[in-house]
Chain A
């Protein structure tokens, strides 16, 4: 069916007047404490570190989670914070995805730990907002067993509607995703009807806030 025919059949036989739309409910405070509490509700773990303490925190998480290989985004922040160096020093193997147009999925799948970064977080539901694109493969946040999200130069947004306003003010991104904790499922009934963590995505999500 051509586009014009398709649009024509979606036209209502008689016009229906538009109704006024109320504003969204007032958002709560955009505080890091509330963000941490919300993230905790969805089993995400948050830690706050100084720039100098970041390496030690990454090593602590890698050791606790028993990871042996890692993959990172190639962003200015990952370079600026020298994310890979302390992990390599403690013996983890860094996996570097191939250059485009090669297929990166098998390489990324071999990593236990994925490290990504962001400047945006939504407080009301404890979401880290990840932009993907060049140097920011989508699968780094999907395939590894453990995900670390570095939040730096943080802009905390009170609500999802505020996030929409921030995005509307920029050139539209090709993709972005809200991450709210480890992947989970309730499709196999657990003994207490709680979701089981670690379905297709990460089993654990650590959000590390850098700076004050």
Chain B
């Protein structure tokens, strides 16, 4: 493969010694998933088949589920917004922030907010946005992008984290993990109790009740939802499920596959704003349903990417991801699922990322809902070739020009670029074998 943006970024990341830590953590996460799955015995396959069917049926009728979710959530007192693309989502979020005169927003980890560039959008409008998931906060302090969709700062060593904390809070005493976590808790707690806007994500959205479900271990999601008087929850449309019972099955498989946990420490289900007789919770709950290109995958060979639970299991097992980290990928999503999601959501950014895969098939077997990621990555490559390859006429012209320039001819031969001249037509078989021709000549 010729030099490329992905390859350049991946090479930079590979030169970073702390990326070795990323490999260790990914492999540990894979081990924990395997142990958890094994603990379910034969039931894990039943769980996977059930989850796959639930997701397939949901994606097959997203329009119905979205309509029902909007109706039920509105009835529960939430305000539902509809964002066709990233710009519209940004405009909706900005309007809510301006109208509520918010100055400080606290935010939980949400890949959708990364995709929509919510933090920079609000920052430009003068709203300070603080990431409150510890990993995301570390990444914010470092002015970097997440290295992993579940564990965004796993490429940072404790020493690097201490440096970032010292820069933000002043010098601190220790580099033990417990001490660093304690410092972050104290610092962020002050912001939790004075923030006026909370921005949260959503793991699943239950259509029958208009409920959003959030999965987390740190408690920052619950605080971001419960403390500020205004909340904005970003809901990717493909996360809709019909019933709470089905959401519970997906929850079990999501947490088991992401971190090997039976469930995370907190699972919150939120259906409406605070009532008049409550003393906390958001007075305004805004649910923003976001499409941003997802619907373009419906009915195409990439549709099954919408079944994804966002557990990150395919990242943890991918040899390319483990060497390069999420920061080498062009979009918000990385690893095998990231290649496909980037094609669906940000085609112009897709670049050469479809080659960031060995097509070793392990991601397909690891995916809890058995998404055929290698098949889809192959489809993305075909699309990319169709978009970027020169026409046959252009290729012939290049060949003719190269034939007149021996140095260029040798160069293109060496890089294999002439391979593009091959046609799919079979080469005619010679009537006589070469050895027979040579024998005739000798006679």
A-side residues, CB < 8 A to B, are 1-3, 5-26, 38, 41-42, 97-106, 108-109, 124-127, 132-135, 137-139, 141-143, 159-161, 163-165, 167-168, 172-191, 193, 195-196, 198-202
Is the beta-carbon distance between B83 and A8 smaller than 8 angstroms? no
Which of A6, A141, A142, A189 meets B21, CB within 8 Å?
A189
Given contacts A168-B244, A185-B218, A196-B178, contact A174 B76 (CB under 8 A): yes
Is the beta-carbon distance between A200 and B188 smaller than 8 angstroms? yes
- What 3 A-B pairs have minimum CB-CB distances, sorted nearest first? A201-B219, A187-B135, A25-B43
CB contacts under 8 Å to A, within B144-167, are 151-154, 157-158, 161
Is the beta-carbon distance between A187 and B54 smaller than 8 angstroms? no
Q: Note all chain A residues with C-beta closer than 8 A to B88.
A: 1
A164: min CB distance to chain B, Å: 4
Q: Note all chain B residues with C-beta closer than 8 A to A137.
A: 278-280
Whole-angstrom distance between the alpha carbons of A175 and B280 in the complex?
12
Is the beta-carbon distance between B272 and A10 smaller than 8 angstroms? no
B100 interface hit (Cβ, 8 Å): no
Is the beta-carbon distance between B67 and A7 smaller than 8 angstroms? yes
B268 interface hit (Cβ, 8 Å): yes
Is the beta-carbon distance between B134 and A22 smaller than 8 angstroms? no
Q: Note all chain A residues with C-beta closer than 8 A to B243.
A: 164, 168
Chain B 66-79 interface 0/1 with A at a Cβ cutoff of 8 Å (1 = within): 11001000001000
B-side residues, CB < 8 A to A, are 21, 24-25, 28, 40, 43, 46-47, 49-50, 53-54, 56-57, 59-63, 66-67, 70, 76, 80, 82-84, 88, 132-135, 138, 151-154, 157-158, 161, 176-178, 180-182, 184-185, 188-189, 192-193, 209, 211, 217-220, 222-223, 225-227, 229, 237, 243-249, 251-252, 259, 261-272, 274-281, 289, 291, 295, 298-299
Which of B135, B157, B185 meets A200, CB within 8 Å?
B185
B245: min CB distance to chain A, Å: 4
Q: Note all chain B residues with C-beta closer than 8 A to A104.
A: 279-280
Q: Note all chain B residues with C-beta closer than 8 A to A185.
A: 134-135, 181, 217-218
A26: min CB distance to chain B, Å: 8
Given contacts A133-B278, A137-B278, contact A12 B299 (CB under 8 A): yes
Is the beta-carbon distance between A187 and B266 smaller than 8 angstroms? no
A100-B278, A187-B138 given; 14 more Cβ-contact pairs under 8 Å: A11-B62, A13-B298, A103-B229, A103-B280, A105-B227, A138-B225, A138-B281, A159-B248, A161-B245, A164-B247, A172-B76, A175-B271, A183-B217, A200-B219
A175: min CB distance to chain B, Å: 5
A74: min CB distance to chain B, Å: 10
Given contacts A161-B245, A201-B266, contact A138 B226 (CB under 8 A): yes
Whole-angstrom distance between the alpha carbons of A6 and B134 in the complex?
35
A141: min CB distance to chain B, Å: 8
Given contacts A9-B291, A167-B244, A199-B181, contact A14 B219 (CB under 8 A): no
Whole-angstrom distance between the alpha carbons of A159 and B268 in the complex?
17
B189: min CB distance to chain A, Å: 7
A137: min CB distance to chain B, Å: 5
Is the beta-carbon distance between A8 and B133 smaller than 8 angstroms? no
Whole-angstrom distance between the alpha carbons of A196 and B53 in the complex?
36
Identify the interface centre among A103, A132, A143, A185: most chain B CB within 10 Å of its CB: A185
Is the beta-carbon distance between A7 and B66 smaller than 8 angstroms? yes
Q: Note all chain B residues with C-beta closer than 8 A to A142.
A: 219, 222-223, 226
Q: Note all chain A residues with C-beta closer than 8 A to B265.
A: 42, 179-184, 201
5 contacts across the A-B interface (CB closer than 8 A): A18-B57, A102-B279, A185-B181, A189-B154, A201-B222
B30: min CB distance to chain A, Å: 13
Q: Note all chain B residues with C-beta closer than 8 A to A180.
A: 262-267
Whole-angstrom distance between the alpha carbons of A199 and B109 in the complex?
15
Whole-angstrom distance between the alpha carbons of A147 and B169 in the complex?
28
Is the beta-carbon distance between B53 and A19 smaller than 8 angstroms? yes
Smallest CB-CB separation from B175: which chain A residue? Answer: A188
Smallest CB-CB separation from B44: which chain A residue? Answer: A25
Which of B211, B223, B289 meets A6, CB within 8 Å?
B289
Is the beta-carbon distance between B193 and A105 smaller than 8 angstroms? yes
Is the beta-carbon distance between B226 and A184 smaller than 8 angstroms? no
Q: Note all chain B residues with C-beta closer than 8 A to A109.
A: 189, 193
Whole-angstrom distance between the alpha carbons of A189 and B270 in the complex?
31
Is the beta-carbon distance between A177 and B276 smaller than 8 angstroms? no
Given contacts A101-B276, A133-B275, contact A20 B53 (CB under 8 A): yes
A191: min CB distance to chain B, Å: 7
Q: Note all chain A residues with C-beta closer than 8 A to B267.
A: 127, 177-178, 180
Is the beta-carbon distance between B220 and A199 smaller than 8 angstroms? yes
